[in-house]
Structures are given as C-alpha cells and as structure tokens.
Structure 1
Amino acid sequence: MDAIANPDAALDALAAHFAGMPPVAAMRPRILESRHGLLRLRAPLAANVNDKACAFGGSLSSLMTIAAWGLVSLDVEAAGLRADVFVADGRVRYLKPVFEDIVVEATYDDAAEHLALAETLRKQGRAGIRLQARTLLADGGVAATFVGRYVAIGKDGGATG
C-alpha cells in the first residue's frame, strides 16, 4: 500500500468517523498506533464495563471489529481510492476477562491479500480481505481474538482525485 499523504489527517478523520457513530462513540475508542498493516485502539474500561466489573464481551467484539474496519479504510485511502468498507463475517473467541482498559490491535491475516487489496479494488471495483484482531492484556496475554472478512466496494469510480 502507498503511504498516506497526511497520516495525521487520515487518523483524525478515522477518529471523527468513530465519534460520529453513536454505538462506537459510547465505547470511547482512541487510536494508539497506526503503521503499515496494524491499527491499535484503546477504550476505557469504565465505558465498557459489565455487571462483573470486567469488560463487556460485546465491547471487545465491537472494538476488534472496528479496528479491523479502520485498518482497511486507512489502507484504501492510502492507495488514493474511495470505497465503502463493510464487515462481511467474523468469529470471536473470548479467552480471559479484561479488568483494565481495553487495548485491541488489528492486522491482516494474509500478506498477499493485503498487497493485492488496492489493485483488486481498482480493477474490479470491489475487493475482499481477511483480518485478525486481538484484545491485549497489560501482562502480555490475549483476552480475545477475532478473525473477519471485509469487503471494500469502490464508489464514484474509486479514485479520491
């Protein structure tokens, strides 16, 4: 993927997009890190707590889902393309409870698919991609995992101009 012309502006736009979706905004995600093939988010436990004083499973699932969605969206923009990105399917495994702020990171499941994403979108007007995400614990453990498939569908001819 090409480098985003203004990565800070792209991250600010992604954060604004998250804030514009009420269910996502309620979780209060913050972008911690974005680099080639990785997006890491943090959300406060206080905004995502359940009746057992640990993170709500729906928040873990949602945050991993939007981290992967955000990663695809950033890469599509970096390639100079305009597309709507949708989650097509996903599978979550809950491994441990989270009693701290939630940190999730999304990465691509397959490097070859990642490399082909923009070209496929340019040529076919749509592209599918598999991603994975993890909920990380401060002690280095993993609390939950997500594997999902996303689809990018070009709009207005695809190019951002």
Structure 2
Amino acid sequence: MPSDSSYLESVLHHDIPLTREMGLKVVDWQQDQLRLHMPLQANINHKSTMFGGSLYCGAVLAGWGWLHLQLRRNGIEDGHIVIQEGQISYPLPVTRDATVVCGPPEEKVWQRFLATYKRHGRARLTLDTWVLNEGSEERAVAFTGQYVLHR
C-alpha cells in the first residue's frame, strides 16, 4: 500500500494536472503537518522569484491536501473539498525552491468540523498555510483558507 505522501501526490497529479507542470511534490505527512515542495525553476517569474499565482496555488493545495489526508485518516471518503475563500500575504520574495506547510487547527475546531459534517453533510474549516524559502524557517508567504466539505 502506498504511503500517504505518495497517495496524495498521485491524487493531485491525476485530478489537478497543473500540479505536474508546477513540479509539485508531497514531501511528507507527519505529526498532522503536510509539507509540499515546489521548484523555483518551474514557477519562476520575470523577476527571477517564484510567481505569486504559483505560491497561491501551492498554499491552497497544501490546505486541500491536509484536509484530504486527515479525512481519509478519519474514515471519511464521501465528501468533496472545495476552497471557498482565501487570504494571502507575500512579506518576502521566494528566491529558491519553496516548502509549503499546512498544520492542524485546534483539536476542538477539528472535532466541531467533523461533528457538523456528520450531522449536516456540509462543514467549513479554516486552515493556515505558509511558504518557506528552502533552507529557511522564515515565512515568506502566509495564507489562510476556508475550505468546505460537502456530500
């Protein structure tokens, strides 16, 4: 059976072909944190930094992927995840390959989300994602997205 990381990468590359062109890779899924990799060269702009649209896409996909894997872990595979709203800021340029990270919400928020979905067949969850220049822990991009899960 493939690892969660290879499973998610396969889903992303099959269902969202753009992810292949972006060179997006799933690095790991550990301790409720998802890490993606995006190469600069496949996403470069005219200023030799990473294109803002690629960064937005990577941030959205990290949240989508985190939710997809967490739902799978909880035995929920009957829903469709969509991004409803997103807010992004770009405090630093991304000048190297990027690491995109999505971590978990508070446990009580997650439990309320699951209960709402089970009861109503629809629920919303806000997830935070950030982008790092490879080799740095300083956040170059910060994203907050509201995801909707519906049957």
TM over 0.5: yes
Q: Distance in 2 between matches of 1:139 and 1:74?
A: 26
Q: Distance in 2 between matches of 1:11 and 1:140?
A: 22
Task: Give the percent of matched residue pairs that are identical in Structure 1 and Structure 2.
Answer: 27
Q: Distance in 1 between matches of 2:120 and 2:71?
A: 14
**Residue 96 of structure 1: aligned partner:** 92
Q: Distance in 2 between matches of 1:153 and 1:32?
A: 27
Letter of the 1:44 partner, please give it: P
1:18 correspondence with 2:15: no
Q: 1:9-158 to 2 correspondence within 5 Å? A: 10-20=4-14, 21-82=16-77, 83-137=79-133, 138-154=135-151
Any unmatched runs of 5+ in structure 2? none
Q: Distance in 2 between matches of 1:96 and 1:112?
A: 32
Higher fraction of strand: 1
Structure 1 residue 7: Cα displacement: 7.3
Pairs aligned (count): 148
Q: Distance in 1 between matches of 2:48 and 2:146?
A: 31
Q: Indicate the RMSD between aligned Cα atoms, in angstroms.
A: 1.6
Letter of the 2:97 partner, please give it: D
SS in 2 for 1:52: coil
Structure 1 residue 43: Cα displacement: 1.1
